[in-house]
C-alpha cells in the first residue's frame, strides 16, 4: 500500500512502500456517518470522562501529537497521513442530540478536542463543532474546549449562550511563546500570538479562558513557562494546566524527524532532557504517569509552574468549581414544558 514518505511503518501492515520522489501534500477529506460521538475516558492521566471529536486526523500537524497512532486504525499512517487525510463525522450534531435524549445521560461535562482539534480549518466550512455546541446549549450541558485555533472566535455567540445556561471554559493550547518555534513544530496551526489574541477576544466577551502549556518539551520549551503564563494572564486567562511531552509508538519517529529537520542544534539536549525526566526512556506508557515527568528536574518545573500560577492569581478554587460544574443545569427540551411538581 502506498504511503507518504514521512509516515512511520504501520504496525498493522505486513509491508509498506514509500514515494520515490517528493510526495503529494494536498489534503484529502473523507466524510463519514459515524455510529457514535461521545467517547468515554477511563485513564487516570486525563482530567475528564467524556469527549466529543467531530474530526479524525488534524491539519495542525503538531510533531508531538500523541493521537497520531490512532490514525493507523483507519488504515492510514501516523505521519503525514494524520495531517492530510482528515475524517469528517458529518452527522456529529445529530448523534450528540440522540445521546442527550437517552435517559442514561445525566449531563456530565463534555470536552471537545480530546484527541484532535475541533476547530481545525475544516470547521470553517463544515461547522460541526458549532452544531454540537448548539446542541449542548439547547440541553444546558456543560462544556470544556481545548483548541489551538482562532476560528473559535466566530462561535462567541454560542459560547456566550452556553456560559449563561450552563458552564463553559476554553483552554488554548500554547506550548511555545515565540511564533518562530511554533511554526517549526506546529506548521499547520495558528501562530502563538494569534492564539493569544483569540484568548483575549473570548475573555473580553465574558468566556472563561485559560492556557494549556501542553506539552512541555524539556530542553526546549520549559524555559518559556513563565512568559507563557504571564502573557495568558494579560489576555484574560483565569486558569492554566500543564502536561509533559508524550512520545508513544510512532510519535517518537515523527517527533525525532521534525526536531532533526527544524532545530538539529538542540536535538541532543532535547532528547537527553526527556530521558532525564522519563527514567532513561523517551516515554512512560504506565497509567497515572503518562502526562507527567519524574526526577528533580521535573519537580523543579512543577514548582515553577505552580508558583507562577499562584503569583498571577491563576487557578482560583472557586472559579474552578464553576468551570467543572456538571449535571445541575442539564435539561431535556421536553422537560422544559413540565409544570413544577408534575
Residue 61 has pLDDT above 80, yes or no: yes
Residue 34 is predicted with a pLDDT of 95
What's the distance, Cα to Cα, between the start and end of the chain in Å?
Answer: 62
Q: What is the C-alpha to C-alpha distance for residues 60 and 174, in angstroms, rounded to an integer?
A: 13
Residue 82 has pLDDT above 70, yes or no: yes
Greater confidence (35 vs 3) lies with: 35
Residue 340 has pLDDT above 50, yes or no: no
* β-bridge partners, 143: 110, 168
Q: Mean pLDDT throughout 330-340?
A: 65
Residue 5 is predicted with a pLDDT of 39
Which DSSP symbol is given to 17? E
Write out pLDDT tens, residues 147-191: 999 999 999 999 999 999 889 999 999 999 999 999 999 999 999
Spacing of C-alpha 95 from chain mean position: 21
Q: Mean pLDDT throughout 295-304?
A: 96
Contact predicate 5/19, CB 8 Å: yes
Residue 341 has pLDDT above 80, yes or no: no
Q: What is the C-alpha to C-alpha distance for residues 268 and 190, in angstroms, rounded to an integer?
A: 28
Contact predicate 277/293, CB 8 Å: yes
Residue 10 is predicted with a pLDDT of 63
Residue 130 three-state SS: helix
Q: Pairing state of beta strands 50-52 and 2-3?
A: unpaired
CA atoms within 13 A on the CB side of 197: 8
The model's confidence at residue 145, banded by pLDDT at 50, 70 and 90, is very high
Q: What is the C-alpha to C-alpha distance for residues 153 and 178, in angstroms, rounded to an integer?
A: 22
CA atoms within 13 A on the CB side of 275: 8
Domains (ranges, CATH) in the chain?
Answer: 2-325 (3.80.30.30)
Residue 327 has pLDDT above 80, yes or no: no
Average pLDDT over the chain reads 89
Q: Mean pLDDT throughout 240-266?
A: 96
Residue 184 is predicted with a pLDDT of 96
pTM (predicted TM-score): 0.88
Which of 100, 124, 120 is closest to 112 using CA atoms? 120
Residue 249 has pLDDT above 80, yes or no: yes
Q: Tell me if the bond preceding 215 is cis, omega within 30° of 0.
A: yes
Residue 65 has pLDDT above 60, yes or no: yes
Residue 263 has pLDDT above 80, yes or no: yes
Residue 91 is predicted with a pLDDT of 97
* β-bridge partners, 87: 30, 56
Residue with cell string 514515494:
19
Q: Residue-wise over 277-299: b if at least 16 C-beta within 10 A, else e? A: bbeeebbbeeeeebbbbeeeebe
Amino acid at each position: 500500500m502506498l504511503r507518504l514518505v514521512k509516515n512511520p511503518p504501520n504496525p498493522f501492515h505486513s509491508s509498506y512502500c514509500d514515494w520515490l520522489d517528493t510526495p503529494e501534500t494536498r489534503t484529502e477529506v473523507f466524510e463519514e456517518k459515524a455510529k457514535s460521538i461521545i467517547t468515554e475516558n477511563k485513564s487516570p492521566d486525563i482530567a475528564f470522562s467524556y469527549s466529543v471529536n467531530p474530526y479524525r486526523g488534524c491539519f495542525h500537524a503538531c510533531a508531538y501529537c500523541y493521537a497520531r497512532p490512532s490514525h493507523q486504525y483507519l488504515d492510514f499512517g501516523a505521519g503525514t497521513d494524520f495531517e492530510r487525510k482528515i475524517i469528517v463525522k458529518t452527522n456529529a450534531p445529530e448523534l450528540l442530540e440522540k445521546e442527550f435524549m437517552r435517559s442514561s445521560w445525566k449531563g456530565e461535562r463534555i470536552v471537545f478536542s480530546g484527541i484532535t482539534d475541533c476547530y481545525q480549518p475544516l470547521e470553517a466550512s463544515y461547522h460541526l463543532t458549532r452544531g454540537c455546541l448548539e446542541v449542548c446549549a439547547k440541553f444546558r450541558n456543560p462544556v470544556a474546549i481545548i483548541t489551538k485555533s482562532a476560528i473559535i472566535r466566530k462561535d462567541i455567540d454560542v459560547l456566550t449562550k452556553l456560559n449563561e445556561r450552563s458552564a463553559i471554559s476554553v483552554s488554548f493550547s500554547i506550548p511555545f511563546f515565540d511564533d518562530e518555534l511554533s511554526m517549526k513544530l506546529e506548521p499547520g496551526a495558528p501562530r502563538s500570538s494569534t492564539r493569544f489574541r483569540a484568548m483575549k477576544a473570548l475573555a473580553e466577551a465574558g468566556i472563561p479562558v485559560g492556557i494549556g502549556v501542553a506539552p512541555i518539551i524539556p530542553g526546549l520549551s520549559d524555559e518559556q513557562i513563565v512568559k507563557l503564563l504571564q502573557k495568558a494572564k494579560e489576555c484574560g486567562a483565569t486558569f492554566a494546566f500543564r502536561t509533559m511531552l508524550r512520545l508513544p509508538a510512532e510519535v517518537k519517529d515523527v517527533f525525532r524527524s521534525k526536531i532533526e529537520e527544524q532545530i538539529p542544534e538542540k536535538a541532543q539536549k532535547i532528547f537527553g532532557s526527556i530521558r532525564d525526566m522519563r527514567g532513561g526512556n523517551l516515554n512512560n506508557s504506565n497509567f497515572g504517569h503518562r502526562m507527567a515527568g519524574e526526577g528533580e528536574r521535573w519537580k523543579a518545573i512543577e514548582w515553577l509552574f505552580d508558583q507562577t500560577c499562584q503569583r498571577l492569581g491563576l487557578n482560583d478554587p472557586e472559579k474552578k468549581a464553576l468551570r467543572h460544574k456538571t449535571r445541575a443545569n442539564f435539561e431535556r427540551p421536553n422537560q422544559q414544558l413540565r409544570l413544577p411538581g408534575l
